[in-house]
Amino acid sequence: MTTDRLSISDAEFWRRPLDARMADFASYREEGPFTRDRAYNLMTDDYDEFYAVTRYAELVEISRRPHDFCSGQGSTSINDMPAEALEFFGSFIAMDDPRHARQRGIVARSFTPRRLQGVLDSVERICTEVVDDMCEQGEVDFVEAISQPFPLLVICDMMGIPRSEFKTVLDATNVILGAGDPETTGGSDDIIGSYFSAGMALTQLMNEIAEDRRKNPTDDLTSALVNAEVGEDMLLPHEIAPFFILLAVAGNDTTRTATSIGMHLLSQNPDQRKIWQDDLDAITNTAVDEVVRVASPVTFMRRTVTHDLTLSDHEFSEGDKLILFYGAANRDPRVFDEPERFDVRRDPNPHVGFGGPGPHFCLGAHLARRELSVIFRQLLTRLPDIDVVGDPVHLEALGVPLVGGIKRLPVRFTPTARVHR
């Protein structure tokens, strides 16, 4: 058994480059589908045991069996969240049926073809705006200039949040997904307090907007969620803010991280970049899915065993915590040929970057693919020589981050003119 590697729950494990993390995951994966580990719990000053799920087949099987492996016990985090925390972070991603089916159904119904088309159209407009803001500079921090503002502006516009509140949303989501990084918490030692403050800021903002939309509905997603047609259900007042936090966090930072890692991958693999750049129409769809596979922006989700059972010859007990590591599963050689190779033409590509099959598959997968397609098309055409000129700076996570983010990524390019003056 390999011993010269870091524990999955060790903060240092997640502060390293992506390739180093995946090399350790590969060794865990080859020892067996489940690795027993433990994670420090800030709230109890103790350790919580869990099983890391690193193989594709087992991750998919667990995902499609919500009655045996549930989402509604504890949280999406490894450690159980207290009840008051779930007030902010307890949207339907951490629920089971029938509550999950009800809330997800309301949101899915609001993504009508007409409304979704309006969002998809706005992606192109916002992308052009974001690239315009940096295209004349010649050298920028890619995260600050592109990855960070682009998906969050899409979400804010979709929800009807005014641009004047963009910094409020950005700062709060950075804290929530900063994994305790001192830069995101402003150097505060009170990590839990910082999370709660961020959650309260987003909750207050969203409650105010929702209240206004109940009285003065407009053509945005918030209005659709809080105003029902005859015979239809709608999100209750206490449900709207947790949903927005889920959207602002999961829907924003996943695209943000995939964009940053995708840019770095293109710099590391100039042959694959040329293939994509030479035939955008033919390659973009497969390239985007390959970026998601290799980046696997969502690090993990948790499931809890609901009764004693056996899976892949392993006996689990009721209450056992299973942590599904999507990046490890997305490099399982039992499913993917040459899994460590970045191949923009990879097909088939049955990755689980948007979650495994089952009721919790990412509702925003279509939007995320659209965002990634648009941003890389614009970058590869408007800034054809954009390239990374330094090492990526990763989050200084205190533990296992929900999203394995990049804080900074320096890029350089030949300055070009804005599309809109």
DSSP letter string over 292-361?
Answer: HHHH-SB-EEEEEE-S-EEETTEEE-TT-EEEEEHHHHTT-TTTSSSTTS--TT--S----TT--SSTTS
Per-residue pLDDT, 1: 42
Instruction: State the amino acid at position 345 in one-letter form.
Output: R
274-305 residue pLDDT tens = 999 999 999 999 999 999 999 999 999 999 99
Distances (CA, A) of 123 to 147, 152, 160, 254, 372: 13, 11, 14, 16, 10
User: Distance between CA atoms of 135 and 127, rounded to whole angstroms?
Assistant: 12
To the nearest 10 degrees (0 to 180), the angle between helices 149-159 and 113-132 is 140
Question: Across the beta sheet with 300-305, what order do the strands follow?
Answer: 34-41, 46-53, 321-325, 300-305, 69-70
**pLDDT reported for residue 108:** 85
d(CA 354, CA 364): 9
Distance from C-alpha of 121 to C-alpha of 124, rounded to nearest angstrom: 6
* Amino acid 346: pLDDT: 98
What's the N-to-C CA distance of the chain in angstroms? 61
* DSSP conformation class of 416: -
**b/e per residue 1-13 (b: at least 16 CB within 10 A):** eeeeeeebbbbeb
Show the low-confidence residues of the chain (pLDDT under 50). Answer: 1-2
Radius of gyration of the chain (CA): 21
pLDDT at 267: 97
Query: What is the structure's pLDDT at 274?
Result: 98
Give the whole-angstrom CA distance, residue 51 versus residue 148. Answer: 32
Amino acid found at 49: E
Q: Contact 126/153 with Cβ under 8 angstroms?
A: yes
Would you state the pLDDT for residue 2? 45
Domains and CATH numbers, the chain: 11-412 (1.10.630.10)
Per-residue pLDDT reduced to its tens digit, 109-118: 876 667 778 8
SS3 50: strand
HSE-CB for 14 with a 13 A CA cutoff: 26
Bridging pattern class, strands 321-325 and 46-53:
parallel
Are the CB atoms for 237 and 210 separated by under 8 Å? Answer: yes
Q: What is the pTM of this model?
A: 0.94
Q: Give the burial class of 281: count Cβ atoms within 10 A of its Cβ; 0-12 exposed, 13-18 middle, 19 or more buried.
A: exposed
352 closest CA partner among 342, 343, 361:
361
